[in-house]
Structure 1
Amino acid sequence: MNNLKMKNLFVIASLAIFALAGCSDDKNEPGPEVVPPVEESVSGEVSGTWTKGGTYKVTGHIQIPEGKSLTIEEGVTVLFSDSVVKPEVVVKGNLYSLGTSEAPVKFTVPDAWKTVANQFGNLWGGLIAGPNCTEFVLSHTILEYGGAVTTEESPSVKAGLYKAEAGEHVPVAYFLNIAGKFIVVNSIIRNFNEDGFYIEGGKVIIANNMFYTTGVSGGDAINIKSGVQADVAFNVIYSPNTNALKLSNSGERSPQAYVVGYNNTIINAGWRRPTTKGGSIWLEARVRADLYNNLLANDRFGIKRNAGDAEDDRSVISNTFYYGADQTTTDQFQPSAEIVKGVNDLLSAKAGENDPKFVNYPLTTATNNAAFDTKWDFHLQAGSPAIGRGKTDFTRLYAEGLVVNGVTYKSPAPANYAGALGTK
């Protein structure tokens, strides 16, 4: 090969290297920085998409119109920032709140409002669905400091929703469409004045959630009426004012209320209620309830029925784990005309027996305590008597899942331990 050819080949190779280097540099150049949006004043009708990481400051009542949807992406903060209006969110269309474990959606208030005096919220309303809302999803969503009282000007009162009258504290979420789907998974509900969820219809999955510091003078974490068919599983519910689960067929809507509630951990329930209506799981009005593997620790009562208007005879209660740190609590777990005796329950008559061995929770914490320490850990230590106490061969309603907005949500498979959290 002559020198000229060698030079030409060298030039061609050099140009190719520079070209490749240029392509590589182009790929490594950072794109334009995406700045999450900040909407300073949101009120009235809303729909479409609230963008990942954005902040939407709600300064008046908002409404998702019929036939439209609002999708809230991961990391969005919905900031209720009007202490006079105390906005409600009326969902006449569909709502999809889709956070992630790393970047949950937050329905919240300014940090300066999160004081001891506002421990039970009352600073904004709640999420109130209309009769034609067909899909309502809260996934990896934090809801806090709401439950404001309704007035004659409240959108929910004007629309005839929830209890449709002034003077009622609204729940975290209200849903009523028998033909609809209501999904709440991997979410946190805290610092609310009243009920968590008040549900009067629909196919429902409520799973893997945490509830605490809810209800001042009343309020259940999950309140279910006729028209609902639900799987309620793997929830940790700490110190609800009244019951963790209030299960009723009141209203006589079709279908009959049917709830499969399993592997829930319920602690300190019912002690702040001024009357003795409930204290862990309440059954009434011919509700059909299948309850398995629930762990009840220091609750005011065991599973309790309205003796004058009891649950459906087909109901199944099985493998409930009881713990009472003192004799008063232990005595109130004992079966009676009102306290339901289940099959294969772990129940003793002596205070302090059957210590569930939570990883980090003082079992002598005052039963009327509502303040929650986020360092507490309700997983089970090795050697806990709750391990191996679960029943797994029963049917849940939505093992095959509910399809909502193209996503399939399945109720979780039951565990062979009692309570919501096994060992780490």
Structure 2
Amino acid sequence: MKFKQIIAAIALTAVVFSGCEKANIDVDTTPTSGSAIGEVSGVWAKGSVHEIKGDIIIPEGKTLTIEEGVTVLMDVTAKPEIVVKGNLYALGTVENPVKFTVSDAYRTAENKFGKLWGGILAGPTCAELVLDHTILEYGGATTSDASTSVKMGLYKAVAGENLPALWFSNVNGKLVVQNSIVRNFQEDCTYIEGGKIIFANNVFYTTGVTGGEAMNFKSGCLADVANNLVYSTNTNALKLSNSGDRTPQAYIIAYNNTMVNTGWRRPTAKGGSIWLEATVRAELYNNLFVNTRFGVKRDPKKPEDARSKYSNNWYYGYDQTTVTQFQPGANDIVAGVNDVRGTAAGANDPKFVNYPLNTPVINADFNTAWDFHLQGNSPALAKGITTFTRHHKAGITTANGITYVSPEPAAYVGAYGIKL
């Protein structure tokens, strides 16, 4: 009798283990290092490594919190998508950022524009998404009929689309992207279709093969966009549009951003720096345009809201071709109040701490030793305006109790003042 009980217990254990093993193929609940595929939620603990073997989904009503120093390692064969139907908080630090990346063997010049995994795709049921001190790199794969996003009707829901690093689509949601880096992506860095939004203190570079914006906002967005550095996007640093007919009307306040070399790798009407269209309401202050293609440019067939405001933006061109093409009066270039916009090559040098101003405008390779702070004798240090009101001065408070406040406007122009 005792022997039979032992055999039965062993059999039961085998069944239970088999069931758990099968479940864990589709559900990851491990906080420590491991692999994940299917539904995920809970906490990925500080410093852990999670190998993503296939598409993962944060279910509606669930939350995944990724702590500082976590590496989310994408399988380059599976090219996973991260689908967020619940909430996602990626909470890195300066010393220990969260990384969405690929293994070192694939981080090569040949893969400069990524395409090795999909992107973070937040559907309409995603209430909150925060990326703080987070690195997104080497993604932007092209969808197929087999893609989870296509089957679920997410993003553009068709095969053949190059995925952005981040898509967000809840007009009632909260989105914060700050202190983060987006690099090595095939096309758009972000494609945002609604929400209360802060984009602050981010860096975007080496993105866009034949198209793509750094920050692409559509109807439904109420966004503060400040202190971002955008280097050599294929198309615009900021595409501001009210397309999509969602409520509220897109209303974007972009201030104290630095744009360098943007737009030259897509020499079409839309290639440039900041593009305005489709009755978007925009306020643009204290932005620094250096060797960019155009400056602030509107779609003449679908212009911006007449209440839009522009003031105290600064323009520099190393050569005469660059200076000539950002002059108002041609190419639908928008002029602002108290703009600094010379007519001669080399005028109004902002005096970066370390950046060769003669770097070719089509260069897409970013040198992390460059320093876009302003020197102590920069004429741009006292040309900003601080009297405007931003959307999220009182902050955006998320369900985990953290309040994110958009940066105070600075009296200088661009993303960085004097290096402290």
Which of 408, 412, 419 is matched with 1:413 structurally? Answer: 408
Letter in 1 for 2:95: E
Partner of 1:318: 311
Structure 2: distance between partners of 1:119 and 1:384:
34
CA deviation after TM superposition for structure 1 residue 38, in Å: 2.2
Tell whether 2:342 aligns with 1:348. yes
Unaligned runs of at least 5 residues, structure 1:
1-35
Partner of 2:122: 129
Q: 1:401 aligns with which of 391, 395, 399?
A: 395
Name the counterpart of 1:14.
Answer: none
TM-score for the superposition, normalised by structure 2: 0.91
Distance in structure 2 (CA, Å) of the matches to 1:278 and 1:342 = 20
Q: CA deviation at 1:320?
A: 0.6
> Does the residue aligned with 1:112 lie in a helix, a strand or coil?
helix
Give the match for residue 362 of structure 1.
356
Q: 2: CA distance between counterparts of 1:205 and 1:268?
A: 24
Residue matched to 2:103: 110
Distance 2:33 2:409 in 1: 42
CA contact (8 A) 2:234 2:271 kept: no
Pick aligned residue for 1:216 from 177, 202, 209: 209
1:278 Cα deviation (Å)? 2.7
Question: SS at the partner of 2:188?
Answer: coil
Q: For 2:267 and 2:375, locate their aligned partners in 1 and report how far apart those are by CA, in whole Å.
A: 34
Give the Cα–Cα distance (whole angstroms) in 1 for the partners of residues 380 and 148 of structure 2: 46
Aligned residue for 1:178, secondary structure, equals coil
> 1:342, 1:274 → 2: CA distance?
24
Deviations 1:85-139 (A, max 9, x none): 2000000000000001111000000011011110000000000011110000000
Is structure 2 residue 384 aligned with structure 1 residue 390? yes
Checking the alignment, whether the CA contact within 8 Å between 1:278 and 1:304 is kept in structure 2 is no
1:57 aligns with 2:51: yes
> For 2:373, which of 370, 379, 402 is the aligned residue?
379
Q: Which amino acid aligns with 2:326?
A: F
Match of 1:229 among 222, 228, 233: 222
Percent identity at matched positions?
Answer: 64
1:84 deviation in Å?
A: 2.2
Q: Distance in 2 between matches of 1:371 and 1:412?
A: 28
Whether the aligned pair in 2 keeps the contact of 1:326 and 1:351 (CA below 8 Å) is yes
Q: CA deviation at 1:423?
A: 0.5
CA distance in 2, matches of 1:278, 1:289: 19
Give, as a single letter, the amino acid of the residue that structure 1 aligns with 2:80: P
One-letter amino acid of the counterpart of residue 147, structure 1? G
- Shift of the alpha carbon at 1:385? 1.3
The reply on whether 1:263 has 2:256 as its aligned counterpart is yes
Task: For residue 274 of structure 1, report the CA deviation from its aligned partner.
Answer: 4.3
Aligned counterparts of 2:316 and 2:275: Cα–Cα separation in 1 = 18
Residue deviations 1:387-410 (CA, integer Å, cap 9, x gap): 101000000000000001211000
Where does residue 151 of structure 2 map in the other structure? 158
Query: CA deviation digits over 1:224-266, x for unaligned, max 9?
Result: 0001000000000000000000000011211000000000000
Amino acid across the alignment from 2:353? V
Distance 1:130 1:307 in 2: 32
| Contact persistence 1:241–1:271 (CA under 8 A) | yes
Q: Does 1:138 align with 2:131?
A: yes
Q: Where does residue 288 of structure 1 map in the other structure?
A: 281
The Cα of 1:275 is off from its aligned counterpart by 2.1
Q: Please give the alpha-carbon distance, in whole angstroms, between the structure 2 residues aligned to 1:147 and 1:285.
A: 26
How many residue pairs were aligned? 387
Larger radius of gyration: 1
Local SS of the residue matching 1:387: helix
Aligned equivalents of 1:298, 1:377: Cα separation in 2: 16
Q: Secondary structure at the match of 1:386?
A: helix
SS at match of 1:184: strand
Instruction: Give structure 2 stretches of 5+ with no counterpart.
Output: 1-30
Q: State the distance in 1 between where 2:39 and 2:74 align.
A: 15
* Aligned counterpart, 2:6: none
Structure 2 distance, partners of 1:364, 1:283, is: 28
* CA-CA distance at 1:153 after TM superposition: 1.1
Report the TM-score when normalising by structure 1.
0.90
What's the C-alpha RMSD, in Å, of the aligned pairs? 0.9
Q: 2:266 — aligned with what?
A: 273
User: In the TM superposition, what are the counterparts of 1:294-305 in structure 2 within 5 Å?
Assistant: 294-305=287-298
The residue type paired with residue 75 of structure 1 is G
Q: How does 1:169-188 map to 2 (within 5 A)?
A: 169-188=162-181
Q: Equivalent residue for 2:71?
A: 77
Contact 2:264-2:271 at 8 Å conserved across structures: no
Q: 1:328 and 1:302 mapped to 2: Cα distance? A: 13
Structure 1 CA distance, aligned partners of 2:210 and 2:275?
17
Q: Deviations over 1:286-310 (max 9, x none)?
A: 0000000000000011110001111
Match of residue 423 from structure 1 = 418
Q: Which runs of 4+ in 1 moved over 6 A?
A: none
1:190 is the counterpart of 2:176: no
What does residue 9 of structure 1 align with?
none
AA at the equivalent of 1:50: W
Residue in structure 2 matched with residue 25 of structure 1 by the alignment: none
Secondary structure of 1:157's match? helix
Amino acid at match of 1:411: S
Aligned amino acid, residue 409 of structure 2: P
Equivalent-residue separation in structure 1 for 2:326 and 2:268 (angstroms): 17
Q: Classify the secondary structure of the residue corresponding to 2:323.
A: helix
